[in-house]
Amino acid sequence: MTASSRSLRADARRNRDAILDAAGELFARRGDAVQMDEIADRAGLGVGTLYRHFADKKALRAAIIGRRFEEMTVLAQAAEGAEDPWVAFESLLHGYLEAAEPDAAFRFALLGPEEPDWGDIESQKTAFSAIVERIVRRAIEAGRLRADFRPGDFILITRGAMANMTGAGQWRRFVDLQLEGIRATGR
């Protein structure tokens, strides 16, 4: 739960969650063509209530990402606990992508036509990124991951894989090919 949603009254939190659920469903099906009044209608709320929570679709997409990042952070913490640094890295990568696969709204929010408004979800992004950095650094130091790999490269791989989530499972082949390319040589 984000800091902003924790401080909301129970009814306001329910409304916010209903808006996010409705927006997620509609974005997943129709992308950016969805209008704010459609989202409000699907959530069973007035447009004014929607706008009290989210100024625009960009803010809605950021909140969808923030909600998923909270779950991804828990997943990253579990991966970080793996004893083998390569297993930790691979677990994080596969876990992240497996969680993203059924969430078309999250994928759209990340890959959509506009850059997300990271300012609205900075704490979630920072928490997740810190764990990714530790896992990457540990795998490099153990000689299991290429020395020139950077934490930002994790994002490149995940975005490429998400762009290949067509339902045929091709993203798994994409990731396998990527892992072969970034695994440290000499092992």
Q: Domain containing 129 — which CATH number?
A: 1.10.357.10
Instruction: Over range 93-103, report the average pLDDT.
Output: 92
Task: Measure the CA–CA gap between 45 and 48, rounded to whole angstroms.
Answer: 8
Domain, as residue range, for 62: 57-187
Task: Measure the CA–CA gap between 107 and 105, rounded to whole angstroms.
Answer: 5
183 beta partners:
145
Confidence tier at 135 by pLDDT (50, 70, 90): very high
Whether 5 has a pLDDT exceeding 70, the answer reads no
If we measure between CA atoms, which residue out of 49, 64, 45 comes closest to residue 112? 64
Question: Do 30 and 68 have their domain in common?
Answer: no
Cβ distance 62 to 120 under 8 Å? yes
Question: Do 36 and 62 have their domain in common?
Answer: no
pLDDT at 98: 93
If we measure between CA atoms, which residue out of 99, 85, 104, 103 comes closest to residue 182? 85
Residue 110, number of CB atoms within 10 A of its CB: 20
pLDDT at 32: 78
pTM: 0.80
Question: Do 81 and 128 have their domain in common?
Answer: yes
Instruction: Over range 102-124, report the average pLDDT.
Output: 82
Confidence tier at 70 by pLDDT (50, 70, 90): confident
Whether 87 has a pLDDT exceeding 90, the answer reads yes
Q: How far is CA 48 from CA 35, 57, 100, 187, in A?
A: 14, 14, 31, 59
pLDDT at 139: 97
Question: Do 87 and 175 have their domain in common?
Answer: yes
Question: Do 12 and 47 have their domain in common?
Answer: yes
117 φψ region: left (φ > 0), alpha (ψ -120 to 50), beta (else): beta
Cβ distance 181 to 93 under 8 Å? no
Number of domains observed in the structure of the chain: 2
Burial 5-27 (b: 16+ CB within 10 A, else e): beebeeeebebbbbbbbbbbbbb
Q: How far is CA 130 from CA 40, 151, 168, in A?
A: 35, 9, 32
Confidence tier at 84 by pLDDT (50, 70, 90): very high
Question: Do 92 and 138 have their domain in common?
Answer: yes
pLDDT at 103: 85
